[in-house]
Chains A and B, each alone.
Chain A
Amino acid sequence: MPIDYSFKARIEAALNNQGIRNALGKFGKDFPISRAKVYEGIDFEALRKEVAKVKSNGAAKFEQLADQFEKNLTNRGAKVHRAETGADVYQILRDIAKARNAKKVVKSKSMASEEIHLNKHVEDQLEMIETDLGEWIIQQINEKPSHMVMPAIHLSKEKCADVFSDALGYRVEVDIPLMVKLARKNLRQEFLTADIGISGCNIAVAETGTMCIFTNEGNARLTASLPPVHVILLGYEKLVEKFEDVGPIAKALAKSATAQPITSYVTMISGPTQTLDANGNVVDKELHVILLDNGRRKLLTDPVFKEAGQCIRCGSCINVCPVYQLLSGHVYGHIYPGGIGVILTTFFDGFEAVEKIQDLCISCGRCRDFCPGKIDIPNLILEVRRRVRQQIPLPGMQNLIVGSLLPKKGLFQFGLRQASWATSMFASEGKDGKKYVRNLPFGFGRLADWRSLPAFPAKPFRERIKSIKQNPVNKKGKIAFFGGCVIDYAYPEIGESLVRLANKLGVEVEYPEQSCCGAPAFYMGRQDVTATIAKQNLDNFAKDEYQYIVTACPTCTEVLKENWIHVLQNDPAAKAKAEKVSAKAIDAIKLIHNLTKGDQAAEKEVAALSEVACPNKVKVTYHDSCHLNRSLGIKAEPREVIKDIKNVEFVEMVDSDVCCGFGGSYSIKLREISKVMLEGKLKNIEETGADIVCADCPGCIMQLRGGLDNKKSNIRALHTLELLDGKF
């Protein structure tokens, strides 16, 4: 039996398991490449739109489709059962077995059966034999699958050979083809003598009563064909309306799951067939179909979470998740790992089950780009977090900070200011001339021992702007700058660079009275606090005189563009203002790109500026900040702007779009994970041989600078605005 580790201990154990880390890390690197290859020539956006359409249609009408599906199958001679819970499934299966005195069951892969721990609950009556190779291996050692598609990905071939040796009673060599052969030989006998076959199914078509099963090994075909009884266990979310709806799902499933064009076998079962009995006589088979609820009805009828009904269980969101890659499925502790796992587990096992694991998502959004069901996974996780926090409040201190300090403007700013003198006591200069805090007294040491923290300057940007003399060249207009906490209090010089650049481009910058954007509260599940904060800011920004509302922090930009509207949904007057702000909100790098591209004079201005400050050649690489790249879709613009600077040699790094591990409070709460993500990022940066790494998010800058200072690296991390401003 697995030891009941605490959550943090499980994380530590996984991070220290170099074997799993290597396997998943390699897979994480290989998968996007092979996946891109198999999707070559296919319009993925169009395809996933189609998938989302047929799946959301299925989810919207699932009750009606279930009835139609049941009717069709019943008319064809199958028996359809409805199971509300796992316990119902156990009973249905026991009854089916009892009626024919069945003892031996061969199972082909079914996540639904894993989810309800079917084997464990019927073992006293039935011998349950997993036939999917990976499932068989983990069944032998009593483990749970660690991945939806590759259940034994966490085991090395040496470990697998041990499992084979134990199961077969003789020493099996560490030879994968040999093990596969042995599995074939041994399991073939089980297939030929089994009384019942159980499988899952990937798609269920209501109009024809067809169930489609996708497999590579061929075990589902044997499961469906050889034993006299076939039981198919499926959840309501598998239902689609029309036979043709199979098309887009089939096109995407294997490509997204294992980067194959299609699985070796697609089996479509629409009713009972025949088999041969022990004497070789043709006999009619029994076909039982069990429709499982176990929380699915609630999920599919939830106004927000019904979106998760678009999932086709390809697992690609898990494959690309930088957090999963470090932890493997077992840290998630339930059957469905990764981001989508958090969402499904919420409904299958309840909010308590996900209280801790929902925090694992750093909201980087990478999974969303890959999802063939077009599900906004991080957004649904935030909704899980919000609902979790309604039922289980944040631990005392965090709740106090988020709930009481953040919404009180004066108090919050006072607190940040105090940070200036508090940090100054421990600060010293780094290689780049900036001030860092490297060790903290009392119990706070672990916050800074892997990543130096910035020392907060005495004067925040809100003070500094007052003394900047603005002199826009050929004044074209006026923008409002939303600084955000990090720039305001930690990196005011980024704000100063913005003002200088804007002035060069003929734009005057105003800094209206403002507080935090509310993102920290939002990402901690306290959207109510974000709403309060939004309202403190709206009046000062929703003014006609501003052409743009500019930020230099993409998280703030996203909050201004989307989240304020979302949290103010029930307050029409405030929402109207939020919409006004949203329409004008723009990230600084995008604005500079807009202003300079096609405007040669302006382009020259910017180039000239950096040329002066950059007389020698420098090598620059670029880190894509998650919110800039994915949420705002800004990827090419900063590169184009940087490449235009004279004397800059631009080089791409590997995985430039993988999260650096900052994630705001994430890097404090789950610093173990944040630290390892940062290590991976720094390694990729170092490998480019660049002198400078640029990013457009002050959070990423804080993370990267902190890591580089900790390593005493010569590489400098700069906000792109600072590079453009020649501040290096």
Chain B
Amino acid sequence: MNGQVIDWRPYLPKSAGKEELYEQFKQKAEALTVKVIRVSTKEEAEKAIVEVMKEFNVKKAAAAPLTLVNSQVIKEEAKKEGIDLGLEQDKDWIEQSDFGISEFDIGIAELGTVVQDAQSIHERLVSMLPPTHLAIIETKTIVDTFADSLQIIQKAYNGNPPHYIAYVTGPSKTADIERVLTIGVHGPSKVIYVCIG
């Protein structure tokens, strides 16, 4: 497998992160019932994440490796609130968690989507298995369109994309019974985006 971890940020278009892109991103995501939280610093993000877990009455949580925030800090702060945050790549733990935390490489304004190199099974399990998922992105990585995201991937990996890329746009849903939109089938029923910067 291709395996290498590549930073997408050097390949962002110039317009990425513009205020109106964030506004659009937020509006599109909220229309899909996503909770969007904006913070300016790493510390604020850590705090906000613990707050959200409290608000959602989380007992057990799981996080994939994080770089934009300090997962140890979150783990300790969470503990004080009686929340057990697991940082290990442990399928059973993740499956039993009520909350998953992971980072995404970019956001897409026109859709309210977050995108991630998801080659690591840890990244995928955390965003798929628990009923609530929190995705962290940097506001400056929000691009305009889906087509922009394709270009970034092509450039970042030089035409040799990673073996698994995940685009996530809001909660898991179905309309298979009488076309009634119902959230939370096989994936999370609640999604939260934390935007840093």
Chain A residues in contact with chain B, CB under 8 A?
23, 27, 76-77, 131-134, 137, 150-153, 155-157, 160, 176-177, 179-181, 183-184, 187-188, 191-192, 207-208, 210, 216-219, 221-222, 224-225, 243-244, 246-247, 250-251, 258, 261-276, 280, 282, 284
User: Which residues from B are CB-within-8-Å of A150?
Assistant: 175-176, 179
B144-175: CB near A (< 8 Å → 1, else 0) gives 00110011011000011111111111111111
B9 close to A (CB within 8 Å)? no
Extra inter-chain contacts (13) besides given A133-B177, A225-B121, CB under 8 Å: A151-B176, A157-B177, A176-B177, A184-B184, A184-B186, A208-B161, A243-B153, A244-B150, A265-B168, A265-B187, A270-B164, A274-B1, A275-B121
Task: Determine if A269 and B186 form an interchain contact, defined as CB atoms under 8 angstroms apart.
Answer: no
A210→B161 contact, CB < 8 A: yes
Task: Say yes or no: B174 contacts A27, CB within 8 Å.
Answer: no
- The verdict on A243 contacting B154 (CB below 8 Å), with A152-B177, A176-B180, A273-B1 known, is yes
Chain B residues within 8 Å of A274, by CB? 1, 119-121
Contact of B154 among A134, A244, A263 (CB under 8 A): A244
Q: How far is the CB of B33 from chain A (nearest CB, A)?
A: 11
What residues on B are CB-neighbors of A210 within 8 Å?
Answer: 161
- Contacts of B95 on A, CB cut-off 8 Å? 188, 192
Q: Is B68 an interface residue (CB 8 A)?
A: no
The distance in angstroms between the C-alpha atoms of A177 and B91, with both chains bound, is: 26
* Cα–Cα, bound, A244→B2 (Å): 21
Contacts of B47 in A (CB 8 A): none
Q: Please, which residues of chain B bring their CB within 8 A of the CB of A271?
A: 1-2, 163
Size band of the interface chain B makes with A: 35 or more
Complex A-B: 17 CB contacts under 8 Å: A133-B174, A133-B177, A133-B185, A137-B177, A152-B177, A160-B177, A184-B184, A217-B174, A218-B187, A221-B186, A244-B147, A261-B112, A262-B167, A266-B167, A270-B162, A273-B163, A274-B121
Identify B185's interface contact among A218, A251, A262, CB under 8 A. Answer: A218
Q: Is the CB of B176 within 8 A of A156?
A: no
Verify A265–B111 contact, CB threshold 8 A.
Answer: no
Does B70 belong to the interface (CB within 8 Å)?
A: no
Q: A133-B177, A218-B128 in contact; A267/B165 too (CB < 8 A)?
A: yes
In the docked arrangement, what's the CA distance between A584 and B186, Å?
60
Q: Check if A218 sits within 8 Å of B179, measured CB to CB.
A: no
Check if B41 is an interface residue, CB within 8 A of chain A: no
Question: In the assembly, what is the distance between CA of A134 and CA of B125, in Å?
Answer: 24
Whether a CB of chain A sits under 8 angstroms from the CB of B97 is no
Q: In the complex, A390→B2 CA distance in Å?
A: 54
Q: State whether B121 touches A208 (Cβ < 8 A).
A: no
A residues less than 8 Å from B175 (CB atoms): 150, 216, 258
CB distance from A388 to the nearest CB of B (A): 34
- Expressed in whole angstroms, the minimum distance between the Cβ of B30 and any Cβ of chain A is 13
Q: A244-B147, A276-B121 are in contact. Are A263 and B176 (CB under 8 A)?
A: no
Q: Is the CB of B164 within 8 A of A280?
A: no
Residues of B within 8 A of A219 (CB): 185-186
A458→B154 CA distance, assembly (Å): 74
Docked complex Cα distance between A160 and B171 (Å): 23
Establish whether residues B163 and A267, one from each chain, have CB atoms under 8 Å apart when the complex forms. no
- Our pick among A152, A160, A192, A264 for the contact of B172 (Cβ within 8 Å) is A264
CB distance from A185 to the nearest CB of B (A): 11
Flag if A251 contacts B161 (CB, 8 Å).
Answer: no
Which A-chain residue is minimally distant from B113 (CB atoms)?
A262
- Of the listed residues A225, A251, A263, A282, the one surrounded by the most CB atoms of chain B closer than 10 A to its CB is A225
Residues B1 and A284 in contact, CB atoms below 8 Å apart: yes
Q: Which residue of the partner chain, among B2, B89, B146, B164, contacts A250 with CB atoms under 8 Å? A: B146
With a 10 A CB-CB cut-off, give which of B92, B153, B175 has the most chain A CB atoms.
B175
Given A150-B176, A156-B178, A251-B146: A264 touches B162 (CB 8 Å cut-off): no
In Å, the complex CA distance between A438 and B110 comes to: 58
User: Which of B112, B124, B177 contacts A225 (CB under 8 A)?
Assistant: B124
Q: Is B40 an interface residue (CB 8 A)?
A: no
A27 and B179 contacting across the interface, CB-CB below 8 Å:
yes
Structural contact, A217 and B147, CB atoms closer than 8 A? no
- Rank and list the top 10 A-B pairs by shortest CB-CB distance, nearest first: A218-B187, A134-B176, A271-B163, A266-B167, A217-B185, A218-B172, A218-B186, A268-B165, A247-B147, A133-B176
Highest count of chain B CB atoms <10 Å: which of A27, A157, A269: A269
A224 CA to B124 CA, complexed, in Å: 10
A76 to B172, CA, bound (A): 30
- Evaluate contact between B168 and A264: CB separation under 8 angstroms: yes
In Å, the complex CA distance between A265 and B111 comes to: 12
Contact B172–A262 (Cβ < 8 Å):
no
A262→B177 contact, CB < 8 A: no
B161 adjacent to A157 (CB under 8 Å): no
Q: Is B28 an interface residue (CB 8 A)?
A: yes
B146: A residues at CB distance < 8 A: 247, 250-251, 262
User: Are the C-beta atoms of A265 and B159 separated by less than 8 Å?
Assistant: no
The smallest C-beta distance from B127 to any residue of chain A, in angstroms, reads 8
Q: Does B182 contact A (CB under 8 A)?
A: yes
Query: Of all chain A residues, which has the CB nearest B115?
Result: A266
A187 closest partner in B (C-beta): B186
> A280–B161 contact, CB under 8 A?
no
| Residues of A with C-beta under 8 A to B125 | 225, 276
Indicate whether B19 reaches chain A with its CB closer than 8 angstroms: no
Instruction: Report if B90 contacts A (CB, 8 A).
Output: yes
Bound CA–CA A561/B90 (angstroms):
68
Identify which of B112, B169, B179 contacts A263 (C-beta below 8 A): B169
Q: Which residues of A contact B179 (CB under 8 A)?
A: 23, 27, 150, 153
Instruction: For B147, list chain A residues within 8 Å (CB).
Output: 244, 247, 251
Chain B residues 103 to 146 lying within 8 A of chain A, measured CB to CB, are 110-113, 119-121, 124-125, 128, 146
Say how far B164's CB is from chain A's closest CB, in angstroms: 5
- In the bound complex, residues from chain B placing their C-beta under 8 Å from that of A27 are 179
